[in-house]
Amino acid sequence: MASSYAVCRLHMRGRGSLGKCLQRLDTFLHRSIGSDVVAAQAEAARRDGSDVKYGSKSLYVVQAERQEQAERSVLISCHSRTNEKKFLKDLSKHGDIKKHFFYESYGVYAVVEFSSQESVASLLEGANIPTVSHESMVPFKSRLLSLRNFNSVDSSNQQAGQQRQPQTTPPINELMQRLSREESIDHQITHLTESYQLTEENIRLRFLVCSLLKDIAAAYFPECTIKPFGSSVNGFGKLGCDLDMFLDLDGISGRNVKMPKSGLSLEYQMKRASSERAVTQSILSVIGECVDQFGPGCVGVQKILNARCPLVRFAHQPSGFQCDLTANNRVAMKSTELLYLYGELDPRVRCLVFTIRCWARTHGLTSSIPGAWITNFSLTVMVVFFLQRRNPPILPTLDQLRELAGPADKSVIEGNDCTFVSNFSKIPLHSNTATLEQLLCEFFDFYATFPFSKMSINIRKGKEQNKPEVTPLHIQNPFETSLNVSKNVNASQLDRFVALCQESTWLLQQRENNTPRRHTEGNTTGPWGLVQLLMPLQVAGVKSRKGKRREAASERIKSLLESLKNKN
């Protein structure tokens, strides 16, 4: 099979390099795809069995590195005029500082990464328990600290003492103006992706919050880990997205150890429960209680234990993250790994996903409130499916990824086969040279005419299949194949999605919309291309503007009522 493919492998080295990466893609595609050098490297890797990744690491490796980095980090609430130089000088008395940055969220905070964990221990050793009158403290010590030493505050009122890293997306109006000044729709899409995607600092902060939470859970389960999953790590996260966390107890030693054939054999006495679900519920209930009672900065804790996937939801105030903590959620971890892999295979995947997610949010097709609308996860699977259906395909099917898997990749979770290749260099790709603009237009056209009433979207096969059940939208869960990930979507939400796809195709096909509009007076640039697609009035107004807007609002209210009814 591999010989019929051109092997093209383009991996992003860090988020900031998206532009460069697209340039590389451009040059690469204009050269001959499947260049001899890349093919030879891949072939050499295959022959000697080495794990050549061309800059890409598997999510598993990335997670381990980030976790280790987070363990050596602390989060400190500072004064808005904390003098960076003095602050670092004082901190470095405890050891070498590898990286630090400041950000703002209900106050100014600093993330400080030391070179060694001993430095963190030394810093904590010197920290005091706060003394306050009229209140008592829960004496739980953590790596979330407050700066009480005002020596490090800048006395000059001139400017803030430090540069702060943004943790939110730029205001939409400002972004629209910037996009309008771009030269092509491809550049607009890249610009949008770069403005919305998680920054290096935001990713570090996410891992640090997981690590802080782990310290609480470790009171009961010292060998546990808490890993982020979902959009925080799958490469499709937008600044401000929630932080999905998974309490992993599989590392607890002895859990999967085989019995010795001879000699002393001991086992732990353990409390039994009626099912895995009951165990998960009781663990989350206790950890949720601890987070609520002792977790510094954790507010609004809700234990949602009767959901299909039990979880503890809370806000982590110092980071500004909305957090969902789950346990025993290995399949979701696998879907995260799979989406990460797809995003790493070709830079166009991420750009397209960001654009479609943003487009859907602008038009109210997705929402942060659970309901009858399409989720970001479903939308991402739809983009993957669309890219598998290109001719030649841009992404391989899940079955193809499964065929390429080695023995170490084998994974069966609760009877579901979750096996797929983890070594990126083994994945052959076709030479499809479509531009982002072409792909965006084709995406809208593809779903504007997709036979949703009869067919199901299936990324395992990479082909539409007959729908196994009567639901408006059927997207097969990639791993739990009897489940539909878009079961919640009602007919009117699907109709809105299809109508918006039709209108967006139409808009992109109009010549006056897909070329930059320059106004000579005042040198301003009019909205065009992607900007027009993201303007609610323009898209909803292509046909009978008034009626459509009214219909959209009433649909949202109807869906909200339905979701409340279901919840009750």
Residue in this structure with the two tokens 């030693």, named with its chain if needed: 253
Helix, coil or strand: residue 441: helix
Residue 485 contact among Mg ion, ligand GTP, none, beta carbon within 5 to 8 Å by kind: ligand GTP
**CA atoms of 172 and 358, how far apart (whole Å):** 11
Element of type H or E holding 288 = helix 276-294
Q: Is 231 in the site for Mg ion (CB under 5 A)?
A: yes
Residues 80-139 touching ligand GTP, rule: CB under 6 A, are none
At 85, which amino acid appears? K
Letters for 177-216 (x = contact with ligand GTP by CB under 6 A, - = none) are ----------------------------------------
Among the listed residues 113, 201, 244, 437, the single contact to Mg ion using CB under 5 A: 244
Give the nearest distance from C-beta 560 to ligand GTP in angstroms. Answer: 18
Residue 375 contact among ligand GTP, Mg ion, none, beta carbon within 5 to 8 Å by kind: ligand GTP
The nearer residue to ligand GTP, 239 or 542, going by C-beta atoms, is 239
Q: Is 355 in the site for ligand GTP (CB under 6 A)?
A: no
The nearer residue to ligand GTP, 154 or 324, going by C-beta atoms, is 324
What is the token pair recorded at 387? Answer: 């890219």
Chain center to CA of 155: 40
The nearer residue to ligand GTP, 181 or 361, going by C-beta atoms, is 361
Please check whether residue 228 is in contact with residue 207, taking contact to mean a CB–CB distance below 8 angstroms.
Answer: yes
Cβ contacts of 49 within 8 Å, gap of 6 or more: none
Q: Is 332 in the site for ligand GTP (CB under 6 A)?
A: yes
What is the token pair recorded at 53? Answer: 């990744």
The nearer residue to Mg ion, 82 or 335, going by C-beta atoms, is 335
Q: Is 471 in the site for ligand GTP (CB under 6 A)?
A: no
Label the pairing between strands 144-146 and 73-78.
parallel
Letters for 358-377 (x = contact with ligand GTP by CB under 6 A, - = none) are -----------------xxx
Give the nearest distance from C-beta 444 to Mg ion in angstroms. Answer: 25
Cβ contacts of 364 within 8 Å, gap of 6 or more: 373, 536, 552, 556
The nearer residue to ligand GTP, 123 or 353, going by C-beta atoms, is 353
Residue in this structure with the two tokens 């598998």, named with its chain if needed: 388
The nearer residue to ligand GTP, 84 or 399, going by C-beta atoms, is 399
Is residue 392 reached through a cis peptide bond, with omega within 30 degrees of 0 on the bond before it?
yes
Binding-site size for Mg ion (CB under 5 A) equals 4
The nearer residue to Mg ion, 230 or 343, going by C-beta atoms, is 230
Please check whether residue 118 is in contact with residue 52, taking contact to mean a CB–CB distance below 8 angstroms.
Answer: no
The nearer residue to Mg ion, 167 or 492, going by C-beta atoms, is 167
Query: Which DSSP string corresponds to 329-340?
Result: -HHHHHHHHHHH
Residue in this structure with the two tokens 């409340």, named with its chain if needed: 564
Chain center to CA of 89: 35
Letters for 229-268 (x = contact with ligand GTP by CB under 6 A, - = none) are xxx--x--x---xx-x------------------------
Residue 119 contact among Mg ion, ligand GTP, none, beta carbon within 5 to 8 Å by kind: none
Phi/psi region, residue 552 (left: phi>0; alpha: psi -120 to 50; beta: rest), is alpha
The nearer residue to Mg ion, 186 or 244, going by C-beta atoms, is 244
Binding-site size for ligand GTP (CB under 6 A) equals 18
- For residue 139, with 0-12 CB atoms within 10 Å meaning exposed, 13-18 middle and 19 or more buried, which class applies? exposed
Residue 180 contact among ligand GTP, Mg ion, none, beta carbon within 5 to 8 Å by kind: none
Residues that bind ligand GTP (CB under 6 A): 229-231, 234, 237, 241-242, 244, 331-332, 335-336, 375-377, 477, 480, 485
